[in-house]
Amino acid sequence: MAFHLACQMYEPVTISDRLFLDLRRAILTGELPAGKKISEPELSATYGVSRGSLREAISKLENCNLVTRKPNIGARVVTFSVDQLLEIYQIREAMEGMAARLAARNMSDHEIQHLRMLLERHKKAIDDPEITNKADLERDADLDFHFCIIQGCSNERLLRMLCQDLYDLVRFYRYRLNPGFSPTAMQEHELLVQALERRDGEMAELLMRHHVRASRDRAKERLQQMTPEELGLAG
Amino acid sequence: MAFHLACQMYEPVTISDRLFLDLRRAILTGELPAGKKISEPELSATYGVSRGSLREAISKLENCNLVTRKPNIGARVVTFSVDQLLEIYQIREAMEGMAARLAARNMSDHEIQHLRMLLERHKKAIDDPEITNKADLERDADLDFHFCIIQGCSNERLLRMLCQDLYDLVRFYRYRLNPGFSPTAMQEHELLVQALERRDGEMAELLMRHHVRASRDRAKERLQQMTPEELGLAG
DNA sequence: CACCGGATAAATGTCAACAATACCATCATA
DNA sequence: TATGATGGTATTGTTGACATTTATCCGGTG
């Protein structure tokens, strides 16, 4: 499994924890489609647990923004509009920019070497003719790259807000509308690693913000060419 | 009640909603002290509700980071270290900076006028000899000011992340360790409003980041002069 | 034919009891 | 005396049943 998916803070000890992880995976991978009603009787029967435990798991899903609940009506898997997606890019620009600035100061040399290694491996994999599923590779490599920097920022709460509150939404989107390979993005990653290697926090923040903004523009262009049916996740 | 405290997204329709709001207020105002154990039997008896509803309310409190839960052990009101507080300032610098940039573009003229009005009222109140509780005034005025800008950014998710996930923590801190009046902060607010009035997003972001960073420095200095007992909320 | 209203069915909210786990005081032993 | 085992007590996790609200269906009416 890709590194970025394993970035969970705790291991499941209780039933609702296990259930939460199962449902989370189901939602992220698309097994549960966007907008799908979360039926408590149905799911509690499927997983063989009581409604109480299920409701607790749903609460946790609500925390990472993967479902929305309305009183007396129920929970649904989250849906995306293009606008909401672009909103997330704006937030990422601000938060990951700060994360990059802090990472330049706080990452250990070893962590930076690891990041460099990720990047080089990614470069090789892109040129490898034996790897057919370039889209999945690109998605996982990019997510791993960003995770590595976020984890190096040494700001525990920033890390949690990004990983728990925001990145599940990014995955949710990526697993449905994978933007695919972009040579410019790879170049942006390269420059960013160089800035981190120089410990240049100011530049790292600028480059990260530029990179996220550029990704946003690429996604926007791509999304505007798609029909609502292709999107399949309008709210 | 101060404007910033009313910034709740929904009105309580269910028992656990009502309970959540009551407990939230109790925690923010200090009625429930930092680090206090949330005993399910005790609280369910106090409020006359079942443990199930209480647990649901606790989940909501966990969402806004006001309590932390450990499996099979229970929930406690959150505690603060100085480091964690400074972490929050870093996040605010990034997110509110972006919010200010967006607000310069998206706030209506009327909203900006309202912000100007808040500021002028604040200035007058500071000089008013009849108002004795300057510390509370300062806290509420500052929180209202920041809320007004955040609400003007037209990024729904950024708004929710700031108001729901972060600002309860800011209130939690402010209601315990109120930094008091700072003439520089007032001046920073003035410059910020001017930038918004000019619709200068670039400058608004820079000024907001500067303002948050300055507030962080002021808080840091203040906190370093306090003993752990005065802080009374070390984890 | 479209629209409204009441009865039925199903889903969510709430509760109290049971099971599993953690806390605590006591006691034995090195 | 300090340390570790042990049993009792209290707290949390889990479940199934009940109450309340919402959704659906169906017949009536303009």
A87 plus A181 within the same structural domain: yes
Q: Do the Cβ atoms of A72 and B156 come within 8 Å?
A: no
Alpha helices (H) along B12-81: 15-29, 40-47, 51-63
- A17 min Cα distance to partner chain B (Å): 9
Q: Are B108 and B68 in contact (CB under 8 A)?
A: no
For B75-99, the pLDDT digits (tens) are 999 998 899 999 999 999 999 999 9
Shortest CA–C1' contact from B69: which nucleotide? D12
Tokens 């600002």 map to which residue? Answer: B167
Could you tell me if residue A162 is inside a domain?
Answer: yes
Last residue of a domain, one of A32, A51, A77: A77
Count of CB atoms situated within 10 Å of the CB of A223: 16
Last residue of a domain, one of B47, B77, B107: B77
* Rg of chain B taking only CA atoms, in angstroms: 19
A96 plus A174 within the same structural domain: yes
Query: Looking at residue A54, which CATH number applies to its domain?
Result: 1.10.10.10
The residues that bridge with B106 in the sheet, in sequence order, are none
A8 plus A61 within the same structural domain: yes
Last residue of a domain, one of A60, A77, A94: A77
Could you tell me if residue A38 is inside a domain?
Answer: yes
Q: Which residue of A has its CA nearest to B158?
A: A91
Q: Are B13 and A71 in contact (CB under 8 A)?
A: yes
Q: Are A156 and B87 in contact (CB under 8 A)?
A: yes
B149 plus B223 within the same structural domain: yes
CA distances from A70 to A38, A77, B75, B122 (A): 12, 12, 25, 38
A71 touches chain B (CB under 8 A): yes
Q: Do the Cβ atoms of A13 and B71 come within 8 Å?
A: yes
Q: How many domains does chain B have?
A: 2
Q: Taking the mean position of all CA atoms in its chain, how far away is CA A229?
A: 23
In this predicted structure, what is the pLDDT of residue A235?
43
Altogether, the residues listed in chain A come to a count of: 235
CA distances from B25 to A61, B125, B164, B232 (A): 25, 26, 14, 19
B126 plus B179 within the same structural domain: yes
- B105 min Cα distance to partner chain A (Å): 14
A17 touches chain B (CB under 8 A): yes
For B179-212, the pLDDT digits (tens) are 777 889 999 999 999 999 999 999 999 999 999 9
Q: Do the Cβ atoms of B98 and A90 come within 8 Å?
A: yes
Interface test with A, best of B88, B93, B157 (most A CBs within 10 A): B157
A165 touches chain B (CB under 8 A): yes
Q: Which two tokens stand for residue A46?
A: 């499927």
A93 plus A188 within the same structural domain: yes
Q: Do the Cβ atoms of A84 and B14 come within 8 Å?
A: no
Q: Which residue of B has its CA nearest to A91?
A: B158
Restricting to A residues 37-56, those with a Cβ less than 8 Å away from any Cβ of B are 52, 55-56
Long-range contacts of B109-114 (CB under 8 A, 24+ apart): B111/B148, B111/B151, B111/B152, B112/B152, B112/B193, B112/B196, B112/B197, B114/B148
Could you tell me if residue A231 is inside a domain?
Answer: no
Q: Three-state DSSP class for A67?
A: strand
Query: Looking at residue A108, which CATH number applies to its domain?
Result: 1.20.120.530
Q: Which two tokens stand for residue B44?
A: 């369910």
A72 plus A181 within the same structural domain: no
A111 plus A130 within the same structural domain: yes
A46 plus A114 within the same structural domain: no
Burial B191-207 (b: 16+ CB within 10 A, else e): bbbebbbeebbebbbbb
CA distances from B91 to A42, A206, A221, B88 (A): 40, 16, 30, 5
Phi, psi of A88 (to 5 degrees): -65, -40
Q: Are B3 and B40 in contact (CB under 8 A)?
A: no
Could you tell me if residue A234 is inside a domain?
Answer: no
* Domain coverage including residue B136: 82-231
Amino acid type, A218:
R
B70 plus B93 within the same structural domain: no
Could you tell me if residue A232 is inside a domain?
Answer: no
Could you tell me if residue A72 is inside a domain?
Answer: yes
Q: Which two tokens stand for residue A183?
A: 């040579």
Residue numbers of chain B with a pLDDT score lower than 70: 1-10, 228-235
Could you tell me if residue A16 is inside a domain?
Answer: yes
Residue B234: closest CA among B84, B79, B29 = B79
B121 plus B224 within the same structural domain: yes
A72 plus A105 within the same structural domain: no
Residue numbers of chain A with a pLDDT score lower than 50: 234-235
Count of CB atoms situated within 10 Å of the CB of A206: 17
In this predicted structure, what is the pLDDT of residue B235?
43
B231 touches chain A (CB under 8 A): no
d(CA B55, CA A87): 32
Could you tell me if residue A201 is inside a domain?
Answer: yes
Q: Do the Cβ atoms of A97 and B94 come within 8 Å?
A: yes
* Strand ranges of the sheet holding B37-38, from the earlier edge strand across to the other edge: B37-38, B74-77, B67-70
